[in-house]
Amino acid sequence: MAGRVPCGISIPQTFDKGPIDLELIRRFAPRAEELGYDSLWVQEQLIGDACVLEPVTLLTYVAALTSKARLGTAVLLTAIRNPVHLAKSLASLDQLSGGRVTLGVGIGGPQTPHEIFGIPRERRPQRFVEGLRVIRALWSEPKASVAGEFWRFENVAMEPKPVQRPLPIWFGAREPLGLKRAARHGDGWMGPGSSSSAEFVKHVGLLRGYFAESKRDLAKFPLSKRVYLAIDDDRARAERRLKEWFGVRYRNAEMAPRVAIYGSLEQVTGKLRELVDAGAQHLLLDPVFDHEHHAELLARAVVPKL
């Protein structure tokens, strides 16, 4: 695919009006790779009445359908997951995919029901950071040892390791403290789809300041943005359909016009260019309906112009 900014695309994962459409996934993933998308992405919603497939399981299936595109999570809420189990699952996925995994992680918001998962809400940031330390230790050390507040073990082996050494960990964050954690601990950052383009500009500015303070090299830290979008010359229809999806996925239909990009080809392309001009080095394009139509249209008429 031509174009100076690499673009990924989200895999169909939420099925709010019927059963899981396995044939859609089976068609979509290899075709998206053929069209030149550099990566295929999933997100996390473990509980709720929206029909959403579990992300690591879905990526494992997609790994068998593809051979080149990277496979990303945007994002896993690692603070509510056991890091030892997660390290094993993701190392296995990286092996099965031939080293194509990008782990996107997030801390979650105040609405995340930690208690359902048997995880205390207290000291959530510390648990989040320490859990990542556990994962990285198990991935990198022949026999890992961690002496933390939440996990303590010595000389624990885990094989196989990921193919990638290291497997990249991108942070999803929007609050200043989360962005500071991303600058300190992450290998890249993805602006969440629930943030607007204007907020993305603000977040990039904060990240640049945190990198200057830490003396890390921002040039080696990819800046990405998830973009919910819809291409339709009838903007009112596009907005209505986006609101329907946001009402199911986020329980907030009015979020759609605030954060999504929609309208004609020219309008969508122009808004995506603004994100690139603001510092996006990668875009995750997330058409939440008409997935195959959007994948073809974006690859042919939008991405080459970014």
User: How far, in Å, CA of 167 to CA of 218, rounded?
Assistant: 18
Helix, strand, coil fractions of the chain, as percent rounded to 5: 45, 20, 35
Are the CB atoms for 194 and 259 separated by under 8 Å?
A: yes
What string of DSSP letters covers 117-128?
GT--STTHHHHH
Q: What is the full per-residue pLDDT of the chain (306 aa) written as tens digits?
A: 445 899 999 999 999 777 999 999 999 999 999 999 999 999 999 998 889 999 999 999 999 999 999 999 999 999 999 999 999 999 999 999 999 999 999 999 878 888 999 999 899 999 999 999 999 999 999 999 999 999 999 999 999 999 999 999 999 999 999 999 999 999 999 999 999 999 999 999 999 999 999 888 998 999 999 999 999 999 999 999 999 999 988 899 999 999 999 999 999 999 999 999 999 999 999 999 999 999 999 999 999 999
Are the CB atoms for 167 and 94 separated by under 8 Å?
A: yes
pLDDT of residue 273: 97
State the burial class of residue 19 (Cβ atoms within 10 Å of its Cβ: 0-12, 13-18, 19+).
Answer: exposed
pLDDT of residue 50: 86
Pick from 288, 291, 231, 306: which is nearest to 43 by CA? 288
Cα angle 247, 71, 185; round to 5: 90
Distances, alpha carbon 138 to alpha carbons 66, 124, 126, 133, 211, in Å: 27, 21, 18, 9, 27
Sequence-distant (≥ 6) Cβ neighbours of residue 174 within 8 angstroms: 191, 192, 194, 195, 199, 203
User: How far, in Å, CA of 230 to CA of 210, rounded?
Assistant: 33
- Sorted by where each starts, the structural domains of the chain and their CATH numbers stand as 7-305 (3.20.20.30)
- The Cβ of residue 88 has, within 10 Å, a number of other Cβ atoms equal to 17
User: How far, in Å, CA of 273 to CA of 304, rounded?
Assistant: 11
User: How far, in Å, CA of 125 to CA of 108, rounded?
Assistant: 10
pLDDT of residue 111: 82
